Each structure stands twice: as structure tokens, then as C-alpha cells.
DNA sequence: ATTGACACGTTATAATATAACACTCATAAG
DNA sequence: CTTATGAGTGTTATATTATAACGTGTCAAT
């Protein structure tokens, strides 16, 4: 079975583990585009052609892309081909929670669960470059406890793990 | 009382919370330099003049510095003033666990607990830029559990929190 | 003496990111 | 209607961060 189509989507939300599994990614992507449009309408923000196109490009795969790679794609699509074009769209999408920035890669990846602000942990496969978003409630709880013991008030935090995804653990030399 | 000299050092090791507290930082720094030299001897690595100077510079404060700021300091000290000089020394120190890289700032900070390889969580004050290293055992445990549920094998991970340190929580506008 | 490994200095360039300004277009006052 | 006003885009230029590649000196092992 190549696709796990209807069964894996619950209320329009992909399970996070889907990134590492073969799945009907076209569905995955179009589902998120629809949610992005809904969010924009709800919030009164504008999902303009450039912004929409950037999100589409990032949604093509469960991997992160550098700003300049996105830019090149935009250019071939007839949009401006100077860095600010890409960075502005990316920054907008990040602010809206539709895209996450992966610090370790200086790259961007489409959010696979756009909703209320969430800051997932990222699992980044160093072989296939696939990025998955893990729920961080317990991780954050532990981090907050550590911060509390310093009387440090966390405002935002970044959690990124590099390693091997299930698929690539088998195929390593 | 300005210093909490002898009481805060236990077996030559500063408590991690010290970064956010007034303390005898000269002691703090010289203590770590000694440990760095010992480590180098033990491991058969060379703490050359440039490398040593870079560590000294980073040890001047509990803050992170960009590679180019380090480089400028090196240049005024008569070392080479081209980027590779700084980056090579920094990369060496990072590999030896004597310096940590702060991803969110593209900057480097001296390790305040150099010993066997450890990967702390960083608490970064956005007001005063002080960086503290928090112990991450519980955080990492939680992260590993999350990764396990993906069958993802973590190789290394980055945990960085931005926020306000205890001192700066009072003095915010 | 010769070799090889390592560190350092230098030149040049790559990769990532932002500042600043001009133009368009939509919408809101006047 | 027309005239601000603001948001978004495109462009030029530049800033910031990082590495590639090559030559030289030092020192230990052969
Ligand atoms: Zn998908
Ligand atoms: Zn993989
Ligand atoms: Zn100190
Ligand atoms: Zn502070």
C-alpha cells in the first residue's frame, strides 16, 4: 500500500509521524493550504500570491529549504528574484505560524499543523533531510522547570534534534 | 556583598545559576582556564596561543560573542585578522567542549562546566545577553521519549530558550 | 636530511540576511 | 471625486556570517 489516505487524517489534521512515512502528500499539502487560507481570512491577514506560492513550495516536501532556494523557485515563477522577496514572504509565514524556521539549517519548513501558536520540537533526519514536528508538551514542561530553578522567564524556545529517521536507520552503511 | 567567592565553588565547579548572579568572575574564568589546560594535556590536544586567547576572550563575560567580534579582539592582540583565524580556534574549542555555539545568535560562549561531553540547554537573556547553561537531563529524557515514539534516533540536539533572567525581570520598562 | 602532520596567516569567495527607496494598488477620508 | 494613508512588492546596495584553497613555519618521527 503506497498511500494511507483517508485513515491517517483526523479532522483535517495529519498525525505528526506522517513525515517519516509514505503517504499521500498531495492530500497533505492541499489540506494545509486550505487551512492557511482559512486562518488568513479569520485573522484578516493577506495570503498574497508570493506568500501563497512560498507556502506551496515549502509544502512540496517534508524538508526544509533555504531562503535562496525558495527565491530561485519564485524567480522561475515570475516573481521578483531578489532576496527580500523571499525573506519577506518567509517572515510573514513564520509570524503567522504557517512556516517554521530551522535554526540548525538556516532553513524553513512548512508547518504541518498550523493552528494556534505552537512551538514544536523538530526531528531532522541528517540522511534524507526530512523534518518532523514532535509535540513538546512534556519537553517544555521539563525545560520550564529547569528555567524556574534559575528564576528565568522563558519567552520562546527552540528544540531541534538531528539524527536518523526510521526509514534511514535501516539504510545506513 | 559583591562576591560570593569561596562558598559558590564546589570542587572547582561553579553552580550553573552563577551566570545570573553577581560573583567573583575573575575566579570563575581562571578556574575554567585551568581546567581547559588540564583537559588539553589529558587529551593530547594543543591549547595554542590563539586558541587560549579566544577562550580567555569568551571567558571575560557570561555572554555570547560573534566570531567577528572575537576576531577583532584577536587582531588587536597581534594575531591574524582574517575570519579563518577566529573560526578555526572557535571550532577547535567547540569540538573540545570548551565553547558552545548558540544557534539563535550565531555566536559562541565559553562553557562554564567543561568536562565530559555535555549538551546543556541555554537560557539566553534578551535584555542583558547573559547566557546560562541549564542541566538538561529531564528535558533530554522527555525529548528522547518523543523521538522514540517516532522511532527517530537522536544523535545531537539543541535546546535554547530566550527570555528574561532574574535580574532583568525587575528592570523591564 | 626528509617527511608528514598540524597550526597559522592570507586571499578570495560563498552563503545568509537586511537596509533603504521607489512604485503600485487598495481603501479611507476629506 | 481626489487625495491621503498604508500594505505589499520590486529593486539596488550592503551587511553579516562562514568556508575554500593555498603557502609557510614548526616540530617530531623516520
Ligand atoms: Zn505530507
Ligand atoms: Zn531519513
Ligand atoms: Zn562568572
Ligand atoms: Zn539578564
Report the range of poorest mean pLDDT among A12-21, A30-39, B108-117. A12-21
pLDDT of A170 = 83
Mean pLDDT of A119-133: 94
Identify the band that residue A171 occupies on the pLDDT scale cut at 50, 70 and 90.
Answer: low
Cross-chain CB nearest to B134 (options A146, A161, A165): A146
pLDDT of B79 = 96
What integer best gives the mean pLDDT of chain A? 89
Dig out the grid coordinates for B84 from the structure: 579563518
Res. A53: pLDDT tops 50: yes
Domains defined for chain A, CATH in brackets? 16-166 (1.10.10.10)
pLDDT of B2 = 40
CA dihedral over B18, B23, B28, B29, signed as positive or negative: positive
CB pair distance less than 8 Å for B163 and A149: no
**Concatenated DSSP letters of B119-160:** --EEEEETTT-BEEEEP-HHHHHHHHHHHHHTT-EEEEEEEE
CA dihedral (A122, A94, A101, A18) in degrees, to 10, reads: 30
Q: How many CB atoms lie within 10 A of CB B124?
A: 26
Digitized pLDDT (tens) for each residue of chain B, 173 residues in all? 444 443 343 334 456 678 888 889 999 999 999 999 999 999 999 999 999 999 999 999 999 999 999 999 999 999 999 999 999 999 999 999 999 999 999 999 999 988 777 889 999 999 899 999 998 899 999 999 999 999 999 999 999 999 999 999 986 55
Distance from the alpha carbon of residue A67 to the mean position of ligand 1, in angstroms = 21
Distance from the alpha carbon of residue B131 to the mean position of ligand 4, in angstroms = 8
Identify the band that residue A12 occupies on the pLDDT scale cut at 50, 70 and 90.
Answer: very low
Q: Which ligand is nearest to the CA of A4?
A: 1
Rg of the Cα atoms in chain A: 17
Dig out the grid coordinates for B7 from the structure: 562558598
What are the DSSP E strand ranges found in B1-152? Answer: 9-10, 13-14, 99-102, 107-110, 121-125, 131-134
Mean pLDDT of A47-65: 97
Identify the band that residue A1 occupies on the pLDDT scale cut at 50, 70 and 90.
Answer: very low
Q: Encode pLDDT of B104-148 as tens digits.
A: 999 999 999 887 778 899 999 998 999 999 988 999 999 999 999
| CA distance, residue B76 to nearest chain A CA (Å) | 31
Strand D-proximal residues of A, range 70-109, CB below 7 A, are 79-85, 88-89, 92
Mean pLDDT of A51-57: 98
Chain B residues 45-104 with a CB less than 8 Å from chain A: 103-104
Amino acid at each position: 500500500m503506497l498511500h494511507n489516505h483517508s485513515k491517517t487524517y483526523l479532522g483535517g489534521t495529519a498525525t505528526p509521524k506522517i513525515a517519516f512515512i509514505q503517504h499521500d502528500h498531495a492530500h497533505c499539502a492541499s489540506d494545509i493550504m486550505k487551512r492557511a487560507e482559512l486562518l488568513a481570512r479569520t485573522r484578516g491577514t493577506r495570503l498574497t500570491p508570493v506568500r501563497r506560492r512560498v507556502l506551496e513550495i515549502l509544502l512540496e516536501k517534508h524538508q526544509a529549504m533555504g531562503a535562496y532556494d525558495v527565491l530561485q523557485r519564485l524567480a522561475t515563477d515570475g516573481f521578483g528574484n531578489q532576496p527580500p522577496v523571499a525573506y519577506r514572504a518567509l517572515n510573514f509565514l513564520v509570524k503567522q505560524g504557517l512556516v517554521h524556521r530551522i535554526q540548525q539549517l538556516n532553513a524553513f519548513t512548512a508547518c504541518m499543523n498550523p493552528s494556534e501558536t505552537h512551538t514544536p520540537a523538530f526531528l531532522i533526519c541528517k540522511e534524507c533531510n526530512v523534518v518532523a514536528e514532535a509535540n513538546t508538551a512534556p519537553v517544555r514542561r521539563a525545560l520550564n522547570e529547569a528555567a524556574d530553578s534559575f528564576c528565568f522567564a522563558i519567552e520562546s524556545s527552540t528544540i531541534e534534534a538531528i539524527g536518523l529517521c526510521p526509514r534511514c536507520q535501516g539504510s545506513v552503511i
